[in-house]
């Protein structure tokens, strides 16, 4: 297929969020003249988060969307070219690397930093989306603190759900854990920890029927799948821990990934299997998924890109 190249850039950053904006700040300071395309959700997952209290430098906390505005402004002040647009196709078979934007124009880049993030999987309930940010959350580590001493619910059955339930059990009075089957997918050691934690109550063979509340979460109604019995549990928060999906599908034909689609990077670096292509943030991190770790990996990616371009004489 003939590609009409509309532009050539030294460093192309795909995705915004803490990883993308931090990469843009560092790449700008290294005179790489980065071009950043913000993607479908400018600012990433933090734009659907309310209060952020665990990012260093904000003693009083900050709203997620406001924090991402700060990141973006700093990147622009350093000289980054920030644009609206979505990467829709790639050709990494030869250098320069090629990326298609909005299914129309192609850009040639000497280096590419992938910061497309991951999206939380949701149950698909209208009440879940309506109360998202008002007691409904996909990150217990981010938001559990706001419900200290209160009763909360968590849905999920894997290691992440078990870890988050245990984390919440240290903060909250009772954790109601909703599990769809009569067993968990989590590792045996994690299951044992959950079952042996006195303030975690597990509901087996249960599914979420409705999250109840007008302006904030007030209760959750669950359905027993065996006898169809409905139970309403008063809670102040509802945590969804059924997994995340990395936004990596357009890179599958060129970039090595694990079985769930997370981009593989060489340990201790942001380097992928393709020379000149780097990955940072949640698209390559299934373990931590925090704003501060994403920002750190964005810094690594920009430094790795700078070194790569320098070695190739493309700086």
Enumerate long-range contacts of 178-182, CB under 8 Å, 24 or more apart: 178/153, 178/154, 178/203, 178/206, 178/207, 178/208, 178/220, 178/222, 179/203, 179/204, 179/205, 179/206, 180/205, 180/206, 180/207, 180/225, 181/157, 181/205
Q: Are strands 237-240 and 51-52 parallel, antiparallel or unpaired?
A: unpaired
Instruction: Decide if pLDDT at 40 tops 80.
Output: no
Q: Which residues are catalytic?
A: 139, 142-143
Judged by DSSP in three states, 303 sits in helix
User: Of 87-91, 101-105, 137-141, 267-271, where does mean pLDDT reach its minimum?
Assistant: 137-141
Q: What is the rounded CA–CA span in Å between residue 253 and residue 269?
A: 22
Residue 187 has pLDDT above 90, yes or no: no
pLDDT digits (tens, 9 = 90+) for 216-246: 999 999 999 999 999 999 999 999 999 889 9
Is it true that 5-119+244-312 and 122-240 share their CATH fold? yes
| Contact by Cβ (8 Å): 191, 163 | no
Cis amide linkage into residue 100, ω under 30° from 0: no
Domain locations in the chain?
A: 5-119+244-312, 122-240
Q: Return d(Cα 215, Cα 54) in angstroms, integer.
A: 25
The reported pLDDT for the residue numbered 314 is 85
Whether residue 203 is predicted with pLDDT greater than 70 in this model: the reply is yes
Using the predicted structure, report yes or no on whether residue 72 has a pLDDT greater than 60. Answer: yes
Q: What is the mean pLDDT of residues 68-85?
A: 96
The fraction of the chain above a pLDDT of 70, given in percent, is 98
Answer yes or no: is pLDDT of 152 > 70. yes
List, for residues 83-113, the tens digit of each pLDDT value: 999 999 999 999 999 999 999 999 999 999 9
What is the CATH topology of the domain spanning 5-119+244-312? FAD/NAD(P)-binding domain (3.50.50)
Average pLDDT of the residues in 79-86? 96
pTM: 0.81
List the CATH code of the domain at 122-240.
Answer: 3.50.50.60
């Amino acid at each position: 297929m003939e590609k009409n190249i509309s532009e050539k850039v030294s460093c192309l950053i795909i995705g915004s969020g803490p990883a993308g904006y931090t990469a843009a700040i560092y790449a700008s300071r290294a005179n790489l003249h980065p071009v950043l395309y913000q993607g479908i959700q400018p600012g990433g997952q933090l734009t659907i988060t309310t209060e952020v209290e665990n990012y260093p430098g904000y003693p009083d906390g900050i709203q997620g969307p406001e924090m991402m505005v700060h990141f973006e402004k700093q990147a622009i002040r350093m000289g980054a070219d920030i644009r609206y647009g979505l990467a829709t196709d790639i050709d990494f078979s030869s250098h320069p690397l090629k990326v298609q934007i909005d299914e129309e124009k192609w850009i040639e880049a000497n280096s590419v930093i992938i910061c497309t993030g991951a999206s939380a999987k949701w149950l698909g309930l209208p009440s879940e989306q309506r109360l998202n940010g008002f007691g409904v959350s996909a990150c217990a580590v981010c938001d559990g603190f706001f419900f200290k001493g209160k009763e909360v619910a968590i849905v999920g059955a894997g290691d992440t759900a078990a870890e988050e339930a245990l984390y919440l059990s240290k903060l909250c009075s009772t954790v109601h854990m909703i599990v769809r089957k009569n067993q968990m997918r989590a590792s045996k050691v994690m299951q044992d920890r959950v079952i042996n934690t006195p303030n975690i109550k597990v509901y087996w063979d249960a599914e979420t029927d409705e999250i109840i509340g007008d302006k904030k979460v007030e209760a959750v109604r669950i359905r027993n799948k065996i006898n169809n019995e409905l139970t309403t549990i008063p809670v102040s928060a509802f945590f969804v821990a059924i997994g995340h999906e990395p936004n990596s599908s357009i890179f599958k034909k060129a970039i090595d990934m694990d079985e769930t689609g997370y981009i593989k990077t060489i340990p201790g670096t942001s380097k992928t299997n393709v020379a000149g292509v780097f990955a940072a943030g949640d698209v390559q991190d299934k373990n931590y998924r925090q704003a501060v770790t994403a920002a750190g990996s964005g810094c690594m990616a920009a430094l790795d890109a700078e070194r790569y371009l320098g070695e190739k004489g493309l700086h």
